[in-house]
Chain A
Amino acid sequence: MIKIWSMKKDNATVDKKKPKVSAAQIRVQKDLGELDLPKTMKMTFPNPEDLLNFELEISPDEAFYAGGTFKFSFAVNGNYPHDPPKVKCLQKIYHPNIQADGNICLNILREDWKPVLTLNSVMVGLQYLLLEPNADDPLNKEAAEDLRNNRRNFESNVHKSIRGGSVNGVQYDNVMSHK
């Protein structure tokens, strides 16, 4: 049988090692380093030394939200990729699946998150949400009903809201790219 540790005590000093990098940090480095963002997406790092907190801008070139630039914050915790990144919308926008306070109803951010998914999967999911808002998973119920009942009306409300206008008495942020 292998003696798995020596029974005699020796005072060999153990090398002091530098702080080790965490699995979450390596995974984020890998996710980021292998990104191939479409031209509709741009990332900014408030602190370039911190890879765990950053912002994503999506500027859809088609559908309801074309012309706007939508900002999302990403916060990755030490348990990534076991935990999904925390993502919030930084602007107040009129969208069936996004709340005024920034909460987003996207399945892979909660119940369908799996560690094999990457930051890229989340970014693609967010872009999809802007291209195809979903009336069946409402966070903003009025916007969802609007979309379900009258797409033309929804479209004009989105058009108004992303230019800083009001819909049903609620004022939204001007998110037009050229402002």
Chain B
Amino acid sequence: MVDAQSTLTLDDSQRWAGVYKLLDRSSLIHPEFEPVDQIKEFIKEAKILVIGAGGLGCEILKNLALSGFCNIHVIDMDTIDVSNLNRQFLFRRADVGKPKAVTAAAFINKRVQGVTVTPHYCKIQDKDEDFYQEFALVICGLDSIEARRWMNATLFGMFDPENPDTMKPLIDGGTEGFKGQARVILPGNTSCYECSMDMLSKPTGFPLCTIANTPRLPEHCIEWASVLEWPNKHGERKMDTDDPKDIQWLYETALARAKQYNIQGVTYSLTQGVVKNIIPAIASTNAIIAASCCNEALKLASTSAKYLNNYMMYSGNDSVYTYTFEHQRKDDCPVCGNAVSKMEFRGDKTLEEFMDFLKEKPDAQLKKPSFAIAGKPLYLQAPKSLEEALRPNLLKPLKDLVSSGDQITVTDSTLPFSLQVEITLV
């Protein structure tokens, strides 16, 4: 064991005294925990990525910085809106219009000595796997389903069972009004975000004919403006829900329609809420969920206590109720149920011969398989026009269609979702 004591200054032991009381002794919490200085070093140095610098993100950044994590990165693509100031406490009035990530990082860096928060003012999709590979752990505090699905799929895609360093724990927090959840997602081990997609209550759109002809609610007028009038007046130009000019246009258009039908309640902020699908945000729910996420981060990083396995739901809607359970993997999950199997096949054999091989393979049992690479079809059994267009590929040697290392996506009615075949041509 390396003696890391020398690199811990007196300042450090004083600054993190509270946390070190936990890490310096054999834990009563977890009997197998061994207090070694490497753990403190790890917490100090491990790169932690926080996704989102909004309501949850501000809380998460603050908690991490006060728990001894000193190397934190944060990604957020948004700028500060005046309506954020009531709960996103790292921002001041003078910060309105500035990037959230940059402002939040500057605040923590100034406030908590020894901690470095590095901001990334961009979309998560702008970063590649090399970027995500550098982190020990990722905490998501987002309200976007799409962004979480992307992050989840990316971290699962990076995971290589033969290389433990590629396993990036994902701690996901989410809130909606008085309700929230925190969960620990370990690629290769637990269920994933995609497995729970059907637990989500999807915001229901209104029937198009109601919006078009019989509006009764202010929301109907706003949807009319955004779904039906926008394309009429702006043609191909896509609406930018982050642009106040576009929201203003929608608001005025919806308001005029509401007047026509004698409907009350169309406001600028309702317009923004409807088109951006903004859900109610309560500061203390964010605090509870962020606290739970950060404690899990500390437990995972220090191994000092058993981590959440794997889903904690909190509801303050009807008194207070919390429930922790092991959310189960879905066999047909498109992300984690999609094991890659490696296969070798002769490159001079045709795609048809490869298909016959899969059909005869007893553990595959495929009937009418379809093939694609990265979304590009090689052969599909249907529809007829596509089948005919792709049929010549069946007679081509595999080496003309794929290269070694390619992942062929195979779908078949007998498969719950798909089979990913990583092919090596021999």
State the A residues within 8 Å of B (CB).
1, 3-7, 10, 12, 14-15, 17-23, 25-27, 29-30, 32-37, 42-45, 48-49, 51-52, 78-79, 82, 97, 99, 101, 103-105, 107, 109-111, 115, 137-139, 141
Contact B417 A26 (CB under 8 A): yes
Contact B165 A82 (CB under 8 A): no
Tell me if B411 is interfacial: C-beta within 8 Å of chain A. Answer: yes
Q: Which of A5, A33, A137 contacts B380 (CB 8 A)?
A: A33
Interface centre among B153, B389, B418 (most CB of A within 10 A): B418
Tell me if B426 is interfacial: C-beta within 8 Å of chain A. Answer: no
Contact B374 A5 (CB under 8 A): no
Contact B167 A5 (CB under 8 A): yes
Query: A21 and B38 in contact (CB under 8 A), knowing A4-B167, A82-B202?
Result: no
Interface-facing stretch out of B12-20, B63-71, B205-213, B258-266 = B205-213
Bound: A22/B418 CA distance, A: 12
Q: Quote the shortest CB–CB distance from B275 to chain A (angstroms).
A: 15
In this complex, what residue of A is CB-closest to B45?
Answer: A9
Bound: A30/B418 CA distance, A: 8
Query: A20 and B406 in contact (CB under 8 A), knowing A5-B164, A82-B145?
Result: no
Query: A21 and B409 in contact (CB under 8 A), knowing A79-B149, A105-B212?
Result: yes
Q: Quote the shortest CB–CB distance from B164 to chain A (angstroms).
A: 6
Interface centre among A1, A15, A105 (most CB of B within 10 A): A1
- In chain B, residues 360-393, which have Cβ atoms closer than 8 Å to a Cβ of chain A? 368-370, 372-377, 380-386, 389-390
Chain B residue numbers with a CB within 8 Å of A43 are 383-386
A-B contact pairs, 26 of them (CB 8 A): A1-B303, A1-B306, A4-B167, A4-B186, A14-B158, A15-B160, A17-B129, A18-B407, A21-B373, A23-B194, A26-B409, A26-B418, A30-B417, A32-B382, A34-B382, A43-B384, A45-B386, A45-B389, A48-B386, A82-B149, A82-B202, A110-B205, A115-B197, A115-B198, A138-B209, A139-B213
Contact A21 B372 (CB under 8 A): yes
Bound: A26/B380 CA distance, A: 12
Contact B383 A51 (CB under 8 A): no
Contact B374 A19 (CB under 8 A): yes
Interface of chain B: mostly helix, strand, loop or mixed: mixed
Bound: A12/B165 CA distance, A: 9
Q: Quote the shortest CB–CB distance from A139 to chain B (angstroms).
A: 5
Contact A44 B385 (CB under 8 A): yes
Bound: A23/B195 CA distance, A: 12
Chain B residue numbers with a CB within 8 Å of A44 are 385
Bound: A52/B374 CA distance, A: 13
Chain B residue numbers with a CB within 8 Å of A104 are 208
Q: Quote the shortest CB–CB distance from A108 to chain B (angstroms).
A: 11
In this complex, what residue of B is CB-closest to A37?
Answer: B383
Chain B residue numbers with a CB within 8 Å of A109 are 208
Bound: A25/B33 CA distance, A: 44
Chain A residue numbers with a CB within 8 Å of B39 are 7
Bound: A117/B352 CA distance, A: 31
Interface centre among B338, B368, B381, B383 (most CB of A within 10 A): B383
Query: A23 and B146 in contact (CB under 8 A), knowing A51-B375, A105-B212?
Result: no
Chain A residue numbers with a CB within 8 Å of B30 are 1
Bound: A24/B133 CA distance, A: 24
Contact B213 A20 (CB under 8 A): no
Query: A3 and B206 in contact (CB under 8 A), knowing A45-B386, A48-B390?
Result: no
Chain B residue numbers with a CB within 8 Å of A3 are 303
Tell me if B97 is interfacial: C-beta within 8 Å of chain A. Answer: no
Residue interface bits B22-59, CB-to-A below 8 A is 1, else 0 = 00000000101100001100100000000000000000
In this complex, what residue of B is CB-closest to A97?
Answer: B209
Chain A residue numbers with a CB within 8 Å of B149 are 23, 79, 82
Chain A residue numbers with a CB within 8 Å of B411 are 26, 29-30, 33-34
Chain B residue numbers with a CB within 8 Å of A34 are 368, 381-382, 411, 413
Contact B300 A20 (CB under 8 A): no
Chain A residue numbers with a CB within 8 Å of B186 are 4
Q: Quote the shortest CB–CB distance from B32 to chain A (angstroms).
A: 5
Chain B residue numbers with a CB within 8 Å of A51 are 372, 375, 377, 380
